[in-house]
Chains A and B, each alone.
Chain A
């Protein structure tokens, strides 16, 4: 096979990605696995569509990792870190340390050298941020105790990768250092190197504060979008270069730079400019990793691989369970926490690739490990399914208690899907007024509390049809759709409308676009979360300025009526433009249409009957 020109190569990579990733996502495997599979397919052990060029690609792709760490740095929010410090440092720190130690110990027992064993331990310790966050978010579980704990652990791991990358060269056998070329600090003593590093980081801080703003504003004034992107890329490349010149790894250096630049006003600009490159290059990186798996090696020892996958999952699982208990997670949440995080994550590929290039990890170790890591990731969706369908219903908070199941019959209750701050208010209000309500919610801690208070609650994903059925949707007269995730509200309305056309659906919408979707899908009544509150603020402002409160209140009602009518009208106009055009631009265009509609409103003659002016004029005239 001719591995020829640039276009052929690019075509093969892109085609593999475009085909494999959607398929993998469809199967619930996530995009990282999709890229890996694509790599395996086009790699030397698959269709052999790429050859030595794979190595060059790998170098380019590694820059994706550098960018990822830059973005990780940019996204670190000091306030968030501080708020979660206990769980990040405690839970996250212990998870990484304990898992690393355990895995390293086992690797040592299996006959690896110390340095190599520790490296393997670190590889095993990280979980997959991409998979876990997506899984929890899809199910609306991110706000639960388990979700928050998982988030903390992942955050700690993301940060811990930096010192790990710094540690790897120290673990590597001497002399085997990557041919990094010369750096400025080669001849310097240790303190000189340290000073150079401090100087470089300090330089970035100062330049970030003083230069970045003017330069970026200058570029912004040219009005050339791509120049902005070029500048952002230049910045990252420059930092990577500078950092390697003072002897830091590019990854560590850009991470630090990211943290430093996180507080500048250009943070979001930088992030959104780098993001597509990061995504594409990381995809390329994972493809390259997939292509590098030595399937001959892996295929010769299926038993070993299977045992390693099982041991990894089980070991991490048990450690997570123990930590969950230690940090006071309730039974159910502990289970969810442990079932969510036992896979090994995408950072493992970074560490494995880096370790191999340093000569720290032998090919006989790295290759099967890549396969093991990939398989644990592939096992994630299956584990989640097992948790949801098999384990949780038996062990944790029950979907229904027997008493409730009896009570439900014959009653025509109001169903409330989702009981966070929104559904919670609706439910409390209805209950205070003696309206029988049934709640469906998927936060087990919350469900436990409601149960203790004697409310009929069904536990589980409210978008599941079987759960809706057993909660009594067939006989319910009203369904309140109040999940905090617009996408899931929309899915729920679609599902319910298809199977239960009779029930009246009162749906919560986050913004106008959700409102459009929910209306299209046949929700009876759509409520934008912020509309009424915002109007109340408007009324109070008018009152504070000395306007009559009665008039202001009536004006707010008129405004809402008008806004709702306009919403219905604009819903017809909108088509699919919102999706095709950039969302932000569409928002602005819509704001313009809204303001236009306000101006066209002829309803200024409100409450004309209370106005005696015309009568007075008539009387004067006679």
Chain B
């Protein structure tokens, strides 16, 4: 069974509503390892050896973070810069990650309409994450579309609980290999239909 590594980045979890619930769901999941980057590296002093070992031990990498200024919180950028070494993750001899998959679990303050073609941002979240998608390809990994919680500012506690439950389902589906990369290749985001088998 593929093992899932959640690389989690939230600089102020003590102020979070949505990610707190999502993280709890991930932590409870037996097939998931949670790597809480801001907690493990409060000085942003990333231990490359530890991170590479974690990546090696897992088949699916899930980056979980809030959308900050149409991008990731900064520690994830640092994490890529330091951990994805040439000759290890990419380059002629860099095959450590080959064959693994990478996906994102993102929360966004903006509602779904804002990220639709005619919406305020004119661009989908998947497109905003294009740098990550290219990075994935360079590292010979399989890119999956992001799973997204939209409009976080307007969510009430019950909706947040429901989002967390859906997240737990996503994690199970990933762990059990129930998501077909080819079938979702063109989707803007991962939705329950992609793992409940509907069409």
Contact = CB atoms under 8 A, between A and B. Distances in A.
B94 interface: no
Contacts of A539: 42
B39 interface: yes
A551 B14 contact: yes
A548 B13 contact: yes
Nearest to B154: A619
Contacts of B12: 548, 550-551, 607, 610-611
B42 A553 contact: yes
A615 B109 contact: yes
B153 A616 contact: yes
A615 B68 CA distance: 14
B15 A612 contact: yes
Interface in B35-60: 38-43
A547 interface: yes
B38 A550 contact: yes
Contacts of A612: 15, 109, 152-153
A610 B39 CA distance: 16
A585 interface: no
Nearest to B38: A550
B39 A550 contact: yes
* Interface majority SS (helix, strand, loop, mixed), chain A: helix
Nearest to A615: B153
Nearest to A547: B14
Interface of A: 539, 547-554, 607, 610-613, 615-616, 619-620
A620 B154 contact: yes
A613 B40 CA distance: 26
Contacts of B11: 550, 607, 610
19 contacts: A548-B12, A549-B38, A550-B41, A551-B12, A552-B42, A553-B42, A607-B12, A611-B15, A612-B15, A612-B109, A612-B152, A612-B153, A613-B15, A615-B109, A615-B153, A616-B154, A619-B154, A620-B153, A620-B154
Contacts of B152: 612
A266 B41 CA distance: 48
Given A611-B12, A612-B109, A615-B109, A550 B153 contact: no
B33 to A, nearest CB: 19
A619 B155 CA distance: 11
A616 B107 CA distance: 14
Given A607-B12, A611-B15, A612-B15, A549 B153 contact: no
Interface string B88-121: 0000000000000000000001000000000000
Q: Which range holds the interface residue count of chain B?
A: 10 to 19
A616 B154 CA distance: 7
A620 B12 CA distance: 22
Residue of B11, B40, B41, B109 ringed by the most chain A CB atoms within 10 A: B11
A612 B11 CA distance: 13
A539 B154 CA distance: 34
A553 B153 contact: no
Q: 8 smallest A-B Cβ distances: which pairs?
A: A553-B42, A610-B12, A549-B42, A550-B38, A550-B42, A619-B153, A616-B153, A611-B15
Contacts of A552: 42
Contacts of A553: 42-43
Interface of B: 11-15, 38-43, 109, 152-154
A416 to B, nearest CB: 26
A211 to B, nearest CB: 55
Contacts of A547: 14
Contacts of B41: 550
B32 to A, nearest CB: 20
B86 to A, nearest CB: 24
A615 B109 CA distance: 9
Given A551-B12, A607-B11, A616-B154, 4 more contacts: A539-B42, A548-B42, A550-B39, A615-B109
Contacts of A607: 11-12
A622 to B, nearest CB: 10
A610 B154 CA distance: 17
B69 to A, nearest CB: 10
Nearest to A619: B153
B72 to A, nearest CB: 14
Given A553-B42, A612-B109, A548 B153 contact: no
B75 to A, nearest CB: 9
Nearest to B15: A611
B42 to A, nearest CB: 4
A267 B129 CA distance: 71
A619 B40 CA distance: 33
A550 B152 CA distance: 23
A619 B15 CA distance: 17
A174 B40 CA distance: 83
B74 to A, nearest CB: 12
Contacts of A610: 11-12, 15
B154 A548 contact: no
Nearest to A616: B153
Contacts of A554: 42
A539 B39 CA distance: 12
A550 B41 CA distance: 7
Nearest to B75: A550
A539 B38 CA distance: 14
Nearest to A539: B42
Contacts of B14: 547-548, 551
Contacts of B153: 612, 615-616, 619-620
Contacts of B42: 539, 548-550, 552-554
A548 B38 CA distance: 8
B154 A549 contact: no
A612 B109 CA distance: 9
Contact of B39 (A549, A611, A619): A549
Nearest to B73: A610
Contacts of A551: 12, 14
Contacts of B43: 553
A547 B42 CA distance: 12
Contacts of B109: 612, 615
A148 B14 CA distance: 53
Contacts of A549: 38-40, 42
Contacts of A620: 153-154
